[in-house]
Amino acid sequence: MNSENKFPDSIRRTPRPQDVVGLSTQELRDTFQISGLFVLGELVAHFTDLDRLVVGGVMPTEKAIELPNHKETGRAFFLERRELGAINIGGAGKVIADGQAFTLDKLDCVYLPMGTKSVSFASDDAKNPAKFYFLSCPAHATHPARMMKSAEAAPVNLGSQETSNKRTIYKFIHQGGIQSCQLVMGLTALEPGNVWNSFPPHTHWRRTEIYFYFDLGDKILAHFLGEPQETRHLFLHNEDVALSPNWSMHFGCGTGNYKFIWGMAGENQVFDDMDAVKPLDLR
């Protein structure tokens, strides 16, 4: 395998909810947290057992970086039976898919369908490299490759200043936007002076979810997980990932405002299909 591409041999596996109760702090971090996705000139990715989602980061410099295949796909090329969504959080760059180039500025998104044979990532300026965060999941149908600018993502304003959770949600890959087989992907940006995300919390047994926190700077964030009556937490830094099984809540609170990319796969793509949790019932 090219030295620019790093897929750990192990799969990130998540335990049963009753097994999480006895995990130590380090065991929780080893299980639910991923760090170090962005390395200059490299692609770093992890297979998970959360609906077989792959989470990765690509930070190209002088030359483009190709998306490699992996033995875990069991196919001739990576997207033979998979689809992929990528959002750029860095400088301007390009995603080239089967010869078609998509130019992405910061916070733009691209979707690549099942059957895409060749994928590479490039930066327009090596001194200000692009940083492509991507998710990939199994697919059984093909939809057109498509890019969406952040301004086109039909932003939705939620929360309030009084509850410190005023935020804007940008939906990219979903039923009303970029069409996909089962991948759902978007980002949330908190307004200055706001720190809570996805609160009041919820679960959704029909979909797993992955959170990628960024634009934190030196701020820290407490990400909460677990069942409503058995909560646990992780302290995360900039560009850390939190894995969320379908039985777990997923919400956080930072020491300042920030952004995060959310991605889901599972039984349906209905954004509002969730089971609300009353804050007073949390334990």
Q: pTM, whole model, 2 decimals? A: 0.94
Torsion sign over Cα 271, 204, 11, 251: positive
Q: Where are the beta strands (DSSP E) in 178-250?
A: 184-190, 196-197, 202-203, 207-214, 221-227, 230-236, 241-244
Neighbours of 248 (CB within 10 A): 25
Residue environment code for 130-150, b if the CB has 16+ CB neighbours within 10 A, otherwise e: bbbbbbbbbbeeebebbbbeb
* Contact yes or no for 33/233 (Cβ under 8 A): no
Average pLDDT over residues 67-92: 97
What are the structural domains of the chain?
5-148 (2.60.120.10), 151-281 (2.60.120.10)
> pLDDT per residue over 89-103, tens digit each?
999 999 999 999 999
Torsion of the alpha carbons at 125, 36, 223 and 247, rounded to the nearest 10: 110
Half-sphere exposure of 1 (CA within 13 A, CB side): 16
Torsion sign over Cα 56, 53, 194, 230: negative
Write down the residue that tokens 């009303």 correspond to: 176
Q: How confident is the model at residue 5 (pLDDT cuts 50, 70, 90)?
A: confident
> pLDDT per residue over 105-131, tens digit each?
999 999 999 999 999 999 999 999 999
> pLDDT per residue over 235-260, tens digit each?
999 999 999 999 999 999 999 999 99
Look up residue 264 and give its two tokens: 């889901």
DSSP per residue over 251-263, as a string? EEEESS--EEEEE
